[in-house]
Amino acid sequence: MRTDRTSMELQGIQVPVASSFPPKATIKCDGIPAFRNRAARDLACLLDVDDEVESWTCLPLELRHGNLTHSPDVLVTSVSGASILMDAVDVRGAEWIATIAQEAGYQYRAVKKAEREGGWRLRNARDLLRYGNYQCPLGDRIRVMATIDEVGSFTVAEGLSLFREIPPMAGLASLILQRLIIVDLDDALIGPDTVVRRGNR
């Protein structure tokens, strides 16, 4: 496992920071993506499809408490302007982290496995982000948006036939990740019958 930066220390434990975990693409990341484990990558996937998140930054700062140090997994900037430090898992024996974060002007959250992996959202986010490096061409985008304005909604299977310039699933995923169109990420895995509607952007 390749490391991109010096290992962080927490109570004398060396924690390597991995260069990346799939999917490779990110949407709202400010800076270079760097995740210490799969859990942190999964948290970032969820942040990329969260309408309340404006941007996020990996391993943004170091919190200190005496001779103890800790770098939270991400710093999230919400659309309301709040700054929230997050860890993908609870850091054992480090109750001081939330206190020090608050003193530094941040909210703090430890997002447990059950919260990350409950329901369908994480699996749908991973699937969409496989196409995160694609950009839907203008012609296909206008065709999709004009159709959705005319009919109100369509299924994924119906929408795939609208793409001419880009692989259909890549084009559809790109528009979903831009929030130009929306699908329900929580109800079930995205499939042929998933309903597509106009987004809020």
pLDDT in tens, 3-54: 233 333 333 333 445 556 899 999 999 999 999 999 999 999 999 999 999 9
What pLDDT shows up at residue 95? 83
Place of tokens 């309903």: 195
Q: For the chain, first and last CA: distance in Å?
A: 39
Residues 118 and 111: their CA atoms lie apart, in Å, by 12
Instruction: List phi, psi (to 5°) of 100.
Output: -65, -40
- For strand 74-78 and strand 53-58, is the pairing parallel, antiparallel, or unpaired? antiparallel
**Measured CA distances, 3 to 16, 52, 78, 186 (Å):** 7, 31, 29, 34
| Gyration radius (Cα) of the chain, Å | 19
- For residue 69, the SS3 value is strand
What pLDDT shows up at residue 16? 45
What pLDDT shows up at residue 89? 81
Residue ranges of domains in the chain: 8-117, 134-198
Quick one: CA torsion of 86, 88, 92, 94, rounded to 10 degrees?
Answer: -10
H/E stretch holding 57 reads: strand 53-58
What pLDDT shows up at residue 93? 64
Structural tokens at position 154: 């369509």
Query: Mean pLDDT, consecutive 10-residue segments, the chain of 201 residues?
Result: 33 45 94 93 97 96 92 96 92 82 94 94 98 97 97 97 97 97 97 95 61
What pLDDT shows up at residue 10? 38
User: What CATH number belongs to 134-198?
Assistant: 3.30.230.130
